[in-house]
Structure 1
Amino acid sequence: MTTGLVLSGGGIRGVAHLGAIKALEEYGIYPSHIAGTSAGAIVGALYASGCTWEQMLDFFKTTEIFSLTNYAMGKPGFLDTEKFHRQLKAYIPVDTFESLERQLFVTATNLLDGTLHIFSRGELIKPVLASAAVPGLFAPVQIEKGYYVDGGTLNNFPVDLIKKYCDLIVGVYVNPFSPVSIKDLNHVNKVLERAYHVMVANETTKKFKDCDLLIRPSNMDKYSMFSLKNLDIILELGYIATINALKNNPISSELLSEAELEAMNGFSLDTAVKGNPKD
């Protein structure tokens, strides 16, 4: 049985994807196909290259997004997206899609013609960086004759990319949309974050029906897309949500062995998750 994994965008909230992967692997679920956009593209690339969830967490903890050395000079963005190439290269030694252990599809938006581009072969790291380049914050990434930004602007939940290859699809969505008040928009980062949410929310929810198992960690809107303060908590939210989804979804019997289902029935979902909310 072929299992696919869809990883949404969501900035730092994408660390919840690591918790989902941790839970899936604990119960013997190893996807053969991954589709990711933005933060999901980064996690997908790291995972497909063979990184463990611990190694991926280390990547997020050690990558200083807002370091002065990453600020863009002469480029249309606050941060130079391509300056993060070195950090990814340390975890992905062979920079090609063909070198990956799992089939990976990532999306990025071409600013020049307004189309969504799907990357699945050739050079890996630049398309992944492009997929995660939130417009206005990160500078576009040039790939051949195109200038690319966040794939989530046109497809933040790319389940359509792997439907035809997979018997079952697990989707992880970490970017909830809920009403806010004006007092919540008191910083440029929060305005950019909100604008991004508005842009991607409407079309995304229509795709949830294409997943056999949908994982939507709760309380994600308490944590900023751009703050590195609560990574362990965000990971735990993804982990608990995945265990919960597996325990309560009828397709679990297709994904898991009898022994694994029995073990899951003994898992307590009352795990307390504490921490400081977003700034």
Structure 2
Amino acid sequence: MTTGLVLSGGGIRGVAHIGAIKALEEYGIYPTHIAGTSAGAIVGALYAAGCNWEEMLDFFKSTEIFSLTNYAMGKPGFLDTEKFHDQLKAYISHDTFESLGKQLYVTATNLLDGTLNVFSEGELIKPVLASAAVPGLFAPVEINKGYYVDGGTLNNFPVDLIKKYCDQIVGVYVNPFNHVSIKELNHVNKVLERAYHVMVANETTKKFKDCDILIRPANMDRFGMFTLKNLDIILDLGYNATMNALKNSDLASELLSAAELEAMNGFSMDTSIIGNPQD
């Protein structure tokens, strides 16, 4: 049995993905395939490279996004995306998809022809950075004469990339889309962020039905996409939402019992999960 893990974009809210992974592993569930966009691509790459949840969290805590050294000079963006290469390389020792312990797919949007590209082989770090390069804020990343930005602009929940390879799919979606008042849109950053979510929400929600378990952490609207605070709280929200989803899944409970039986009997078996998507 193969289990797929889909990780949405969402800026710093993507730390909730780390909490979700922590909970899945506590249940003895280890995905074989990962599809990620933007922040989900970063977490997916770190996880597939063998980082544990503490190391993944440390990456986000130690990365100073708005450091003066990261500002772009002569590039179309406030921040030079490729200046984050070495920070990611410190956690990913081998810069190829083939070196990963899990099959990983990440998306990025080619600005030149307006197409969505899927990266799953060859060089790893540049496509991951491109997938997370929010247009306007981060400069596009050049890959093979193409200029790439955030994959979430065209596919923010890439369940379609791994659906055919997996027996079950777990999806983690960390972008809130609740009704807001005009008073909440009191800054240009909030207006831009809201517009971005409106753009991607319609197509994204159609994909929820393709997940056997859908995890949508609550209260994500409390956190801005690039506010580097409360990372432990965001992780806990992802962890708690995932634990609740697993506890409400009959088969997830069976898997936990199977893992205990495996430990006692010393045999190996495949694990997978099926459940009902959360509303």
Q: How far 1:190 sits from its partner (Å)? A: 2.1
CA contact (8 A) 2:247 2:253 kept: no
CA contact (8 A) 2:7 2:35 kept: yes
Q: How far 1:12 sits from its partner (Å)? A: 0.2
2:115 counterpart of 1:121: no
State the secondary structure of the residue aligned to 1:256: helix
Partner residue of 1:175? 175
Distance 1:240 1:116 in 2: 33
Q: How far 1:230 sits from its partner (Å)? A: 0.7
State the secondary structure of the residue aligned to 2:218: coil
Partner residue of 1:78? 78
Q: How far 1:253 sits from its partner (Å)? A: 4.5
- Matches for 1:1-279 after TM superposition, within 5 Å: 1-253=1-253, 255-257=255-257
CA contact (8 A) 1:13 1:223 kept: yes
State the secondary structure of the residue aligned to 2:117: strand
Distance 1:188 1:122 in 2: 38
Q: Unaligned 5+ residue runs, structure 1?
A: 261-279
Distance 2:137 2:255 in 1: 39
The alignment's TM-score, normalised by the length of structure 2, stands at 0.90
Partner residue of 1:270? none
Amino acid aligned to 2:132: A
Q: How far 1:178 sits from its partner (Å)? A: 1.6
Distance 2:190 2:40 in 1: 20
Distance 2:224 2:162 in 1: 29
CA contact (8 A) 1:37 1:152 kept: yes
Partner residue of 2:269? none
Q: How far 1:97 sits from its partner (Å)? A: 0.2
The alignment's TM-score, normalised by the length of structure 1, stands at 0.90
Q: How far 1:259 sits from its partner (Å)? A: 6.9
CA contact (8 A) 1:108 1:151 kept: yes
Cα distance change, pair 255–207 in 1 and its aligned pair in 2 (3 A): farther
CA contact (8 A) 2:28 2:259 kept: no
Q: Unaligned 5+ residue runs, structure 2?
A: 261-279
State the secondary structure of the residue aligned to 1:218: coil
Distance 2:251 2:225 in 1: 31
Q: How far 1:80 sits from its partner (Å)? A: 0.7
Cα distance change, pair 84–259 in 1 and its aligned pair in 2 (3 A): closer
Q: How far 1:171 sits from its partner (Å)? A: 0.5
Distance 1:8 1:135 in 2: 17
Q: How far 1:110 sits from its partner (Å)? A: 0.5
Distance 2:164 2:145 in 1: 30
Partner residue of 1:272? none
Q: How many residues align?
A: 261
Cα distance change, pair 72–167 in 1 and its aligned pair in 2 (3 A): same
Partner residue of 2:265? none
Q: How far 1:180 sits from its partner (Å)? A: 2.1
After superposition, the C-alpha distances for 1:159-207 in whole angstroms (9 at most, x for unaligned) are: 0011111111110000121222333233333233222211211100100
Distance 2:191 2:139 in 1: 18
Between 241-250 and 90-99, the greater mean CA deviation after superposition: 241-250
Q: How far 1:136 sits from its partner (Å)? A: 1.1
State the secondary structure of the residue aligned to 1:257: helix
Q: How far 1:258 sits from its partner (Å)? A: 5.1
Distance 1:215 1:257 in 2: 22
State the secondary structure of the residue aligned to 2:207: helix
Between 16-25 and 173-182, the greater mean CA deviation after superposition: 173-182
Amino acid aligned to 2:257: S
Cα distance change, pair 259–161 in 1 and its aligned pair in 2 (3 A): closer
Task: List, as ranges, runs of 4+ consecutive aligned residues in structure 1 with deviation greater than 6 Å.
Answer: none
Distance 1:259 1:189 in 2: 46
Distance 1:187 1:63 in 2: 25
